[in-house]
Amino acid sequence: MSRSLFSCYGTLMNPRIALMVLKGDESGNPDQLEFTDAVLKSYRRCMLKNAKYPAVFASEGHSVEGVLIRNLRDSDLQFLDWYEGSQFERRPANVECDGTTVETEFYLWVAANDELLENDWDDSWMNDPAIVKAYMKEELESLEDEP
């Protein structure tokens, strides 16, 4: 069964990182997955203390720009549930994508609010290939603990 996910409002917006996380390296098949810009309304993205990834929480009047990933398998979503950890919970949502509303899912921050910072997430570090490569190395090492 093919599914979609709007978890990509943070580091997973970068297709290289998303493929590495899902495949365990950068050799994942990019033809399988489709990455499309999308907007999640009535939510806000913010930085977290001591983390490179952001969180989203409900907030009327705000919206979050991100990426919708299509053609995910159930096993991909189960793995992402593990990867995102207990701080996030996958929830249903509607996103705006290519002028239409798409039913999908996303990861909502459900951990302590004292980890949230007021600032919107700063993704400028993802423009530096050396920093992205170092981040990917750290993530690959953490994936070795996969269940």
More confident residue, 19 or 102: 102
The number of distinct structural domains making up the chain is: 1
Domain CATH number, residue 75: 3.10.490.10
What is the per-residue pLDDT for 25? 46
Alpha carbon distance 52, 31 (integer Å): 27
Q: Taken in order 63, 107, 86, 120, is the CA torsion positive or negative?
A: negative
Q: Which domain holds residue 33?
A: 3-143
Over residues 35-84, the pLDDT tens digits come to 899 999 999 999 888 877 888 999 999 999 999 988 888 888 888 888 88
Give the best-scoring range by mean pLDDT among 1-10, 11-20, 97-106.
97-106
pLDDT per residue as tens digits for the range 89-139: 999 999 999 999 999 999 999 998 888 888 776 667 667 778 777 777 776
The pTM of the full predicted model, rounded to 2 decimals, is 0.78
